[in-house]
């Protein structure tokens, strides 16, 4: 059984109450139609449920979520996957600023572009390693203050070097992979280009394959492509900036 919810003119509070009640009652497949700006969809939800969002949701989609799969047929607003703990968000469109903000587990896939500060403050702990995969491009401060996890930027259709300023500013854990070359002037304080060995290639390969499965791309050229791998130059990038020892 698929539960369909018509979100026309519905405020996010009653909408999210309906979604939560359905999940509590054991619903595993929910489709929300005519979404327009409703925030906090699937926030804090746990369990095995697939939620399809048809429309343009508001900010903080899937915040604190642990387990569900959310598919968005439209453009997402700011911070989808904010502090997400587990599960998958698949966005058939673009997303706003601070995508995957403070994410600590699970995977976010965006077919098109994302805004500024993608992957800001992502983190990891033991087996929890969040991943953000973006098919298009990203704006400045990608991976800002990253503490863990993986950001993978596929830049489909882009051929020149990546020239957005402030990449991985203050990064102290995790990795940013960007297809193609990166202008060295765009690396921020604390960020460093690291070698891409076979082990690392093997690490991003399943993410590429999963992305291509969702969005109907051919994985072969993306698997074979060159990537710039960026990581932390040290565990304390601002040691000399904010403290005096």
Query: Which residues here bind another protein, judged by CB under 8 A?
Result: 12, 36-37, 39, 56-59, 75, 77-78, 94, 96-97, 113, 115-117, 139-141, 165-166, 185
Reported as half-sphere exposure (CB side, CA atoms, 13 A), residue 131 has a value of: 19
CB nearer to another protein: give 91 or 208: 91
SS3 184: helix
Cα(44)–Cα(66) distance, rounded to whole angstroms? 7
CB nearer to another protein: give 105 or 115: 115
CB nearer to another protein: give 107 or 117: 117
User: What minimum distance in Å lies between the beta carbon of 25 and another protein?
Assistant: 28
User: What minimum distance in Å lies between the beta carbon of 59 and another protein?
Assistant: 8
CB nearer to another protein: give 44 or 136: 136
Residue 65's closest CA among 53, 48, 151, 27?
48
CB nearer to another protein: give 139 or 236: 139
CB nearer to another protein: give 10 or 194: 10
CA 179 from centre of chain: 16
Q: How many residues does the chain have?
A: 245
User: What minimum distance in Å lies between the beta carbon of 39 and another protein?
Assistant: 6
| Cα distances (angstroms) measured from residue 174 to each of 19, 46, 86, 120, 200 | 33, 25, 17, 11, 12
Please say whether the dihedral angle defined by the alpha carbons of residues 207, 50, 47 and 60, taken in this order, is positive or negative.
positive
User: What minimum distance in Å lies between the beta carbon of 29 and another protein?
Assistant: 25
User: What minimum distance in Å lies between the beta carbon of 75 and another protein?
Assistant: 6
SS3 63: coil
Q: Which residues of 133-158 are buried (b: 16+ CB within 10 A; e: fewer)?
A: bbbbbbebbbbbbbbbbbbbbbbbee
User: What minimum distance in Å lies between the beta carbon of 58 and another protein?
Assistant: 6
């Amino acid at each position: 059984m698929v539960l369909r919810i018509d979100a026309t003119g519905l405020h996010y509070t009653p909408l999210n109450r309906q979604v939560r009640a359905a999940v509590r009652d054991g619903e595993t497949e929910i489709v929300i139609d005519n979404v327009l700006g409703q925030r906090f969809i699937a926030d804090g939800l746990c369990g095995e449920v697939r939620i399809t969002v048809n429309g343009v949701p508001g900010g903080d989609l899937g915040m604190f979520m642990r387990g569900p799969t959310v598919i968005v047929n439209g453009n997402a607003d700011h911070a989808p996957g904010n502090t997400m703990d587990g599960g998958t968000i698949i966005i058939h469109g673009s997303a706003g600023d601070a995508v995957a903000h403070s994410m600590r587990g699970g995977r976010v896939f965006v077919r098109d572009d994302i805004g500024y500060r993608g992957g800001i403050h992502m983190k990891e702990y033991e087996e929890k390693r969040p991943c953000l995969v973006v098919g298009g491009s990203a704006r400045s401060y990608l991976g800002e203050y990253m503490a863990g996890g993986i950001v993978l930027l596929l830049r489909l259709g882009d051929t020149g070097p990546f020239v957005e300023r402030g990449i991985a500013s203050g990064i102290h854990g995790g990795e940013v992979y960007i297809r193609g070359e990166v202008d060295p002037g765009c690396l921020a304080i604390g960020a460093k280009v690291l070698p891409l060995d076979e082990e690392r290639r093997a690490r991003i390969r399943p993410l590429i394959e999963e992305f291509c499965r969702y969005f109907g791309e051919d994985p072969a050229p993306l698997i074979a492509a060159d990537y710039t791998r960026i990581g932390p130059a040290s565990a304390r990038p601002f040691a000399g900036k904010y403290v005096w020892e």
